[in-house]
Amino acid sequence: MRTRILLLVVSLAVGGCSASAEPGVSLTAELVTPVDVELRWTGSDPAAAGQIVEFATEPQGAYTILQFVPPGQTTYQHPDLMPETTFYYRVRPFYGAASAPLDVTLPPGDYSEKDQENDHEWAPPKVVPGAAAEKQPSRTAVPTDFAAKVMHANGIRFTWTDHANDEEGYLLEVEPQGGTEFTQAMVMEPDVNSVGLITLPEEKSATYRVRPFRYGPASSVPHQLTGRAP
């Protein structure tokens, strides 16, 4: 009888080691070639602002973000992987209210040597003291006063008023003119309300927005052992 109880406890314990409590997203990882993994998932929260796809090579992490993906995306390809290595994957939603979008058009010109010699004091993410603002959870804390100042032909300083009281950070998002969706250009610490962005060539005309964010629960965590390199 004691043996049975011990076996039951061990069984429950081992079974409980690999699964987080009732993950909302069910994730599968398929080795489609010896060094390519395809991820597929179901159960995404349509109310999320987006999702992050992460990987690790040990079961307890550390996890690295592979990509921010839109809320509707349910697949991801992780190609040309390190051979004979175990990869662990998870997907997490993130939530947060975005500012009103802001269109910015930059003067023509490449990232010149003169521009590069700019000291860029305006670029590091900063918390600039301002008037006291009413705070609320990040899901409803729309940043206000979102403004852009063109600093040179490939550099923009953004400022806004932070209204969030529980954010894990801020995201600066960009959609180049002619694009179809916003992507994340920068992740910042909580409470930041000023940052500079060096633009990519395709962002001469683009739309920007900022949002405070919090991550939601992690998906199930499948893993795959890659094969020998081709």
Partner 1 sequence: MRKKSRAAAGILAICGMFLGAQTAYAQVEPGGWTSYSPGYNVQLKGCGQTNGLTFTLSCSSTSGEQRAERRFDTYTGGTRQFEGSFKITSMGGTRISLKQTFRESPSAGPYFIMAAERGGRLYSVEGGATIASGATVGTSVRVNTVNQVGNTHRTYINGSLKNTVSSPSGSYYDKFGAYRTNSGNGPITVTWSGIQFWRK
Among 99, 154, 159, 161, binds partner 1 (CB under 8 A): 154
Report in angstroms how near the CB of residue 38 gets to partner 1 at its nearest: 14
Q: How far apart are CA 219 and CA 92, in angstroms?
A: 6
Q: Which residue has the tokens 């395709």?
A: 202
- Specify whether the CB–CB gap between 194 and 159 falls below 8 A: yes
Q: What does 180-229 look like in DSSP terms, one character per residue?
A: SS-EEEEEE-TT--EEEEEPPGGGSEEEEEEEEEEE-------EEE----
What does 131-148 look like in DSSP terms, one character per residue? S----B-TTT---EEEEE
**Residue 196 binding partner 1, by CB under 8 A:** yes
Nearest approach, Cβ of 1 to partner 1 (angstroms)? 16
Q: Please count the residues of this chain forming the interface with partner 1, following the rule CB under 8 A.
A: 54
Among 1, 46, 60, 107, binds partner 1 (CB under 8 A): 60
Alpha-carbon gap, residue 93 to 68, rounded angstroms: 9
Residue 198 to residue 221: CA distance in whole angstroms: 35
109 lies in the binding site for partner 1 (CB under 8 A)? no
Q: Which of 26, 28, 74, 183 binds partner 1 (CB under 8 A)?
A: 183
- Per-residue x/- mask for partner 1, residues 62 to 101, rule CB under 8 A? x-xxx-x---------xxxxxxxxxx--------------
Q: Which stretch binds partner 1 (CB under 8 A): 21-29, 95-103, 198-206, 211-219?
A: 198-206
Tell me which residues touch partner 1 (CB under 8 A).
Answer: 9-10, 12-14, 16-17, 35, 55, 57-60, 62, 64-66, 68, 78-87, 111, 113, 116-120, 123-125, 154-155, 169, 183-188, 196-200, 225, 228
